[in-house]
Amino acid sequence: MAKRFIEVLKGKRLAPPPWWLMRQAGRYLPEYRELRNRAKNFLDFCYRPELAVEASLQPVRRFGMDAAILFSDILVIPDALGQRLEFREGEGPVLEPIASDRDFARLKPENLHRRLAPVYEAVRRLAGGIPAEVALIGFAGAPWTVAVYMVEGQGGGARTKIRDWFRRRPADGETLLALLADATIEHLSRQIASGAEAVQLFDSWAGGLDDDEFRRFVIAPTRRIVARLKERHPGVPVIGFPREAGARYPEFARETGVDAVGLDGAIVPSWAVREIGACAALQGNLDNRVLVAGGERLAGEARRVLEGFRARPHVFNLGHGVLPETPPEHVALLAQIIRAWKD
């Protein structure tokens, strides 16, 4: 039986569209908080297959999404490479930044598979345990976004350290992105071999770059990853999510070869349908704050998204992850609205 989520990624239009939510597992669910308390820390949580499997299944059980996403994090790659990483309560991830050639030389790509074995074990168990109509999504951070964390030591901000570094020593920048692209290919390839049926590349910090940087740091590594995955796993769809790419989304879709693009909340659906719809399926893009608000505002905005993308293959999602303050009942309301949608 073809799964609805996979059919749409391969170019079929379905009404109602399949749906899932970025960060559908997380602190907004009481059962997640309970599970989280059983782990020593967040990384321990990610590396214990029985906990990761349960966290992946919780939202699907409660709300009936069309896809489960592996519970893990994009920062398991720097962790597995040997960079020091800590998830501090209320502060998010903090890494010991890469500042010199010496730090760089200490990264150990050869340890990746061994360190990440529990992640693949979680994928295997999930593939064997999810309901037959639900698809399993694997994921990784895109090289640029992971490099931002590795060099800046944290996310967000103006990203001046990394942009300066890549400008002063372009060869080092390219080497880091190539190392991360290769690690990402291996990581996603193993997830697929373990049972992931589609994969998503999260490029959360793809905004705020100039044209040349966007091509070198976002498009080029993504294109390389997509090409290798397509050679090794033909038919497994790849979703690219270059958050805040704005007017560069069409070029991203054309140049990288992704099957679908994840759109952030700033993108107008009719524009995306016109400018991107011909070369990729579209995923998105309800504002995550509207999901916090709930009620009529949620109903109205969700229908606007459904209507806006109806002309093309569309996967309903948010423009960014579920916020921790989201009432779970609002997700249940969203599920009802999507299921009731007719063309």
The residues that are catalytic are 23, 27, 36, 73, 149
Residue 139 bridge partners (DSSP): 200
Q: What is the DSSP letter of 278?
A: T
Among 24-32, 114-122, 253-261, 284-292, the segment contacting ligand CP3 (CB under 6 A): 24-32
Q: Where are the alpha helices (DSSP H) in 87-200?
A: 101-105, 112-115, 117-129, 143-152, 160-168, 170-193
126 versus 302: smaller Cβ distance to ligand CP3? 126
28 binds ligand CP3 (CB under 6 A): no
Tokens of 342: 């007719």
Contact between 139 and ligand CP3 per CB under 6 A = yes
Q: Looking at 5, 28, 42, 249, which residue binds ligand CP3 (CB under 6 A)?
A: 42
Residue 202 interacts with ligand CP3 (CB under 6 A)?
A: yes
For residues 119 and 113, what is the distance between their CA atoms, to the nearest angstrom? 10
Please pick, from the candidates 118, 155, 257, 294, the single residue that binds ligand CP3 as defined by CB under 6 A: 155
**Stretch of 22-30, 104-112, 304-312, 327-335 lying at the interface with ligand CP3 (CB under 6 A):** 22-30
Q: What angle do CA 226, 231, 237 make, to 5 degrees?
A: 50
In this chain, which of 93, 138, 262, 319 binds ligand CP3, going by CB under 6 A?
A: 93
Counting Cα atoms < 13 Å in the Cβ hemisphere of 149 gives 25
Per CB under 6 A, does 262 bind ligand CP3? Answer: no
Among 186, 321, 328, 335, indicate the residue that binds ligand CP3 (CB under 6 A): 321
The phi and psi torsions of 299 (rounded to 5 degrees) equal -60, -45
Sheet of 198-203: strand order equals 67-69, 135-141, 198-203, 238-242, 260-262, 281-286, 314-318
CB of 311 to ligand CP3, least distance (A): 27
Q: Is 92 helix (H, G, I), strand (E, B) or coil?
A: strand
Applying CB under 6 A, which residues contact ligand CP3?
22-27, 36, 42, 69, 71-75, 87, 92-93, 139, 155, 202, 204, 321
